[in-house]
């Protein structure tokens, strides 16, 4: 079987890339070990974060770092045994998060975020997935006036520089918007621009069906079998060997292993995360995607139930589950909202692929003809899937990408 292009990885980034290549006349095979959207793209907060112009940095304050070192928080957890192997990545992440470097990175990162809604809108409408989308933003709540005021000052800066829209929320506003929520909140922010997704897996599946309606083909296969073949690439699939001129690696947290086989060495780290769905007690209703900012968990009213998501866990990709953050978050969440019983048989766990400069890797492989990379999106994989797919497809087919993607080049790491 021969195709013009192979896309390895059927998460939101891979499916979006496959769509944009297929639209441009390529015959595309989308390949994964599992059905689309069943790995990292399955479990997330379900937010298309137009407000997320500043990527999540590493804490800089010594006092906060010492509190994290105790390892009893909801927003971050680490495996002590694997920490030595992650020190080099974490040190570079910390250095890039200083105020000067982070401001430079934010300006380079912003064009991706600024186009996230419009590019999702294109695919949502084309895939007839509008019933999965809400367009009323989300809430970030604060327990102290100091944290609230600092966040509002930052929001005003982002509004001025990047056009992000927000509302300041007083405690009375929170009570009106969430009548079943209790808690001593000092106020909050409602981000107006983001869209939320009622079922992230269903959205990826809708994009997959649209891809297939364009003539694309999904095939099961393993990226470990990929190798050069003549002037192109060859991979073994469930339907036999497949060859193509171009191959895109959109493998999320598995990209480090796959690229290493071809001689690359990207400084990719992993932030794992957990979620669980809950019923609501009685007639209680959660109306908004809501982040308890100073505790580090989010509640989201999704189709499967109220999804509780945790912060970041620093561990190896294949380490056993340790959902202690979920247990901690559930205990706190029950004090502000009447959560009922757990609806999932066990906590879901996924892994976010991260770079030390907090920006994705998008572009041509430095040492191989016809090999392209699209991974490292960290917390914003869902947000940036369609815009990444478009700019990479434009690059592969010889168009000028509609935004400058030089800052995301694989070359910046000299791999």
3-state secondary structure 291-324: EECCCCEEEEEECCEEEEECCEEECCCCCCCCCH
Strands 290-292 and 138-142: parallel
Strand partners of residue 13: none
For residue 53, the SS3 value is coil
Residue 234 lies in a domain: yes
For the ranges 32-46, 248-262, 297-311, the lowest mean pLDDT is seen at 32-46
Q: Is 393 part of a structural domain of the chain?
A: yes
The span from the CA of 248 to the CA of 365, in Å, is 9
Q: Is 211 exposed, middle or buried (0-12, 13-18, 19+ CB in 10 A)?
A: buried
Instruction: Give the confidence band of 85 by pLDDT, cuts at 50, 70, 90.
Output: confident
Taking CA atoms, 388 is separated from 17, 117, 346, in Å, by: 7, 12, 32
Mean of the pLDDT values across residues 89-106? 95
The band of 36, judged by pLDDT with boundaries at 50, 70 and 90, is confident
Q: What is the pLDDT of residue 1?
A: 64
Residue 158 in any domain: the answer is no
Give 56: exposed, middle or buried? Use CB within 10 Å, 0-12, 13-18, 19+: middle
Q: What is the pairing mode between strands 28-32 and 217-220?
A: parallel
Q: What is the pTM of this model?
A: 0.96
Q: CATH number of the domain that 248 lies in?
A: 3.50.50.60
Percent over 70 (pLDDT), the chain: 99
Strands 269-280 and 348-354: antiparallel
**The Cα angle at residue 249 between residues 246 and 254, in degrees rounded to 5:** 155
Confidence of residue 170 (pLDDT cuts 50, 70, 90): very high
Determine the structural domain holding residue 24 and report its residue range. 2-43+201-267+356-413
Q: Which pLDDT score, from 0 to 100, does residue 144 have? A: 97
Residue 133 counted as domain residue: no
Residue 403, in any domain of the structure: yes
pLDDT at 60 over 90: no
Chain center to CA of 85: 24
Question: What would the pLDDT profile of 199-230 be if each residue is shown by its tens digit?
Answer: 999 999 999 999 999 999 999 999 999 999 88
pLDDT of 64 higher than 80 = no
Q: Please tell me the predicted confidence (pLDDT) of residue 83.
A: 86
Measured between alpha carbons, how far is 333 from 315 in angstroms, rounded to an integer?
25
10 Å CB burial of residue 338 (0-12, 13-18, 19+) is: middle
In degrees rounded to 5, what are phi and psi of residue 183?
130, 150
Determine, yes or no, domain membership for 232. Answer: yes
For residue 336, which phi and psi values (nearest 5 degrees)? -115, -15
Give domain status of residue 108, yes or no: no
User: With 90 as the cut, is the pLDDT of residue 196 above it?
Assistant: yes
Q: Confirm whether 231 is domain-assigned.
A: yes
**Average pLDDT for 309-320:** 93
HSE (side-chain half, CA atoms, 13 Å) at 409? 10
Query: Span 66-95, mean pLDDT?
Result: 89
Lowest mean pLDDT, pick from 36-45, 112-121, 222-231, 249-258 = 36-45
pLDDT at 404 over 90: yes
Q: Residue-wise over 69-83: b if at least 16 C-beta within 10 A, else e? A: eeeeebbbbbbeeee
- Tally of structural domains, the chain: 1
Render 124-169 in DSSP notation, one character per residue.
Answer: HHHTT-GGGEE-S-EEEEESSHHHHHHHHHHHHHHHHHH---EEEE
Cα 398 from chain centroid (whole Å): 27
Q: Model confidence at 2, in pLDDT bands (50, 70, 90)?
A: low
Task: Name the region of 110 (left: φ>0; alpha: ψ -120 to 50; beta: rest).
Answer: alpha
What is d(CA 273, CA 7) in angstroms, rounded to the nearest whole number? 25
């Amino acid at each position: 079987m021969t195709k013009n292009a192979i896309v390895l990885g059927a998460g939101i980034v891979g499916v979006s890339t496959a769509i944009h290549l297929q639209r441009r006349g390529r015959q595309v095979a989308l390949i994964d070990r599992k059905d689309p959207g069943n790995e990292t793209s399955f479990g997330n907060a379900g937010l298309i974060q137009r407000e997320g112009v500043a990527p999540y940095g590493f804490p800089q304050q010594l006092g906060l770092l010492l509190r994290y070192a105790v390892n009893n928080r909801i927003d971050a957890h680490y495996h002590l045994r694997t920490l030595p192997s992650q020190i080099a990545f974490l040190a570079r992440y910390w250095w890039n998060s200083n105020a000067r470097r982070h401001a430079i990175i934010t300006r380079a990162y912003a064009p991706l975020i600024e186009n996230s809604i419009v590019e999702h809108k294109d695919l949502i409408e084309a895939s007839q997935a509008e019933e999965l989308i809400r367009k009323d933003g989300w809430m970030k709540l604060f327990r102290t006036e100091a944290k609230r005021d600092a966040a509002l000052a930052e929001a005003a800066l982002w509004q001025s520089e990047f056009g992000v829209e927000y509302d300041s929320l007083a405690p009375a506003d929170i009570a009106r918007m969430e009548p079943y929520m209790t808690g001593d909140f000092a106020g909050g922010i409602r981000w107006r621009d983001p869209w939320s997704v009622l079922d992230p897996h269903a959205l990826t599946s809708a994009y997959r069906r649209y891809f297939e309606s364009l003539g694309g083909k999904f095939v099961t296969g393993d990226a470990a079998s990929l190798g050069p073949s003549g002037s192109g690439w060859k991979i073994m699939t469930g339907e036999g060997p497949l060859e193509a001129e171009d191959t895109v690696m959109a493998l999320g947290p598995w990209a480090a292993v796959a690229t290493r086989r071809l001689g690359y060495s990207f400084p990719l780290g992993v932030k794992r995360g957990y979620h669980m769905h809950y019923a609501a007690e009685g007639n209680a209703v959660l109306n908004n995607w809501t982040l308890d900012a100073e505790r580090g968990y989010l509640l989201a009213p999704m189709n499967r139930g109220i999804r509780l998501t945790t912060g970041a866990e620093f561990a190896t990709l294949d380490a056993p589950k340790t959902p202690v953050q979920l247990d901690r978050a559930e205990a706190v969440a029950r004090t502000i909202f009447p959560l009922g019983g757990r609806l999932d048989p066990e906590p879901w766990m996924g892994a976010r692929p991260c770079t030390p400069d907090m920006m994705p890797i998008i572009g041509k492989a430095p040492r191989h003809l016809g090999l392209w990379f699209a991974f490292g999106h960290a917390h914003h994989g869902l947000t940036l899937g369609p815009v990444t797919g478009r700019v990479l497809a434009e690059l592969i087919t010889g168009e000028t990408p509609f935004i400058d993607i030089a800052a995301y080049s694989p070359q910046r790491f000299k791999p």
